[in-house]
Amino acid sequence: MERSRTHGAGAKPRVPALHVDTWRDGTGIAEATHLFKYLQDLETPNQFLIIGAGPHCSFMFDQALLETKLPDARNSSNMKVGDLEIGDARYGGDDHGYVKLFLNWFEYWLNSEQNHVTDMPKVQLYVMGKGWNLDDHWPLKATRFTKYFLTGDPVSPHRQGVGMLSTSLPSGNEQDRYVYDPGSPNPTLGGGSFSSIVEAARDQRPVEARKDVLVYSTPPLEKPVTIAGPVEVVLYVSSSALDADFMVKLVDVYPDGKAINLSDDAFRVRYREGSTRKCSCSRARST
C-alpha cells in the first residue's frame, strides 16, 4: 500500500532536524524513517535519526517528569511496556539524556553555542538486549534484506494450523483459507491501533489462537537476529466478501512461548488503488 506523500515534488529543504521516535510508538516508526531517508537521499545536511525504546513520547518518561508525579511518567531506567520488560532505555544512560540533547540542539542552532551537538552519529537506534546502535545511514549499512515466503508446512513444530516462514519459494500453488465472522471481530491487542500507548507491546497468543488468524513462524533461531530496517509484506488475496480488512503482524516468539508484537499494519481492500478510489473485493487478486 503506497501512502500519499506530504512533500512537494522536487522540494529540497535545508532545515536542520532531529527525527525522534520510539519502536513502540502507537503509529510506528515509518513516518520518521521515511522522512529521514527522503532527506538523506537529497543529501540534506544536519539530519539526525534517533529511535529509542518504549512507547509514544517515552523520551518524556524522564526523572524530571517522575518528580512531578504525572500519571503517565515512568522510570526509563527500568522501562516496561505492556508485557515487555525493556530495562534501561535512557538516552546516553542519563536520567535527563533526551532533555539535555534537546537543549543542546536548540542552543546550538538558535543561540550559536558551540557545544558540538552535530558531532553525534547520524543514526542512533536502541536495540533490545544490546543497547544503542550507532550508524550514519538508514537503513543501517550492515542491513541484509531477506525474503521470506508463507507456506503451509504440514510438519510445523507448532500447533496445528500454523504455517512456516521459509526463505525458499514454495513449489506448489498453495492456498490458506479462513472464515471471518463480523459478529465475532478479531480484537486489537497492542500495536499501532491499540487504545493505550503505554501498553503497545502485548502477548499475542490469545489472538493467534483464534480460528480466523493465520500464523506463520520460522524455525527456532539458532543465533540472535537484529531487525532494524523497513519491513514489507506482499499478500495475494481473494475474498467472497465485497470488502475485507487484512492485518499483518511481525511477532517475536520468546523461548517460554510468549509472543510479543514488533510491528503491524492494516489494509482495507477497497482502497488498494488509493484512498480516493474505491474498488470492490471481487476484483482483488493481489495486494
Q: What is the CATH number of the domain that holds 255?
A: 2.60.120.260
Same domain, 176 and 260: yes
pLDDT higher than 50, residue 101: yes
pLDDT for residue 73? 47
Question: What single-letter amino acid sits at 53?
Answer: A
pLDDT at position 221, please? 92
Whether 11 is covered by a domain: the verdict is no
Which of 135, 168, 188 finishes a domain? Answer: 135
Q: Tell me which residue has cell 524513517.
A: 33
Across residues 13-33, what is the average pLDDT? Answer: 88
Residues 166, 287: one domain? Answer: yes
pLDDT in tens, 219-265: 999 998 999 888 999 988 888 888 888 999 999 999 999 999 998 88
Residue 2 lies in a domain: no
Measured between alpha carbons, how far is residue 14 from residues 65, 105, 123, 139 in Å?
33, 16, 18, 21
Domain boundary among 99, 115, 135: 135
Q: φ, ψ for residue 220 (rounded to 5)?
A: -55, 135
For 105, the domain range is: 17-135
Q: Is the pTM of this model over 0.85?
A: no
Burial of 117 (0-12, 13-18, 19+ CB in 10 A): buried
Split into its structural domains, the chain has a count of 2
The answer on 157 and 274 residing in a single domain is yes
CA-nearest of 135, 104, 98, 94 to 20 is 98
- Give per-residue pLDDT as tens, 146-191: 999 998 754 444 445 568 899 998 887 778 888 889 899 988 888 8
Q: Classify residue 4: in a domain, yes or no.
A: no
Q: Please check whether residue 10 lies inside any domain of the structure.
A: no
**In sequence order, which residues have a C-beta less than 8 Å from that of residue 138 and are 6 or more positions away?**
33, 36, 37, 40, 49, 123
Look at 3 and 210; give whichever has higher pLDDT: 210
Shared domain for 148 and 287, answered yes or no, is yes
| pLDDT of res. 211 | 87
- Same domain as 169, residue 114: no
183 and 54, same domain (yes or no):
no
C-beta of residue 270 within 8 angstroms of C-beta of residue 237 = no
Instruction: Please tell me whether residues 125 and 242 are part of one structural domain.
Output: no
Residue 99 lies in a domain: yes
In 82-199, which ranges are E strands? 84-87, 123-127, 131-135, 149-151, 162-166
Is 7 within the bounds of a domain?
no
Residue 4 has pLDDT above 60, yes or no: no
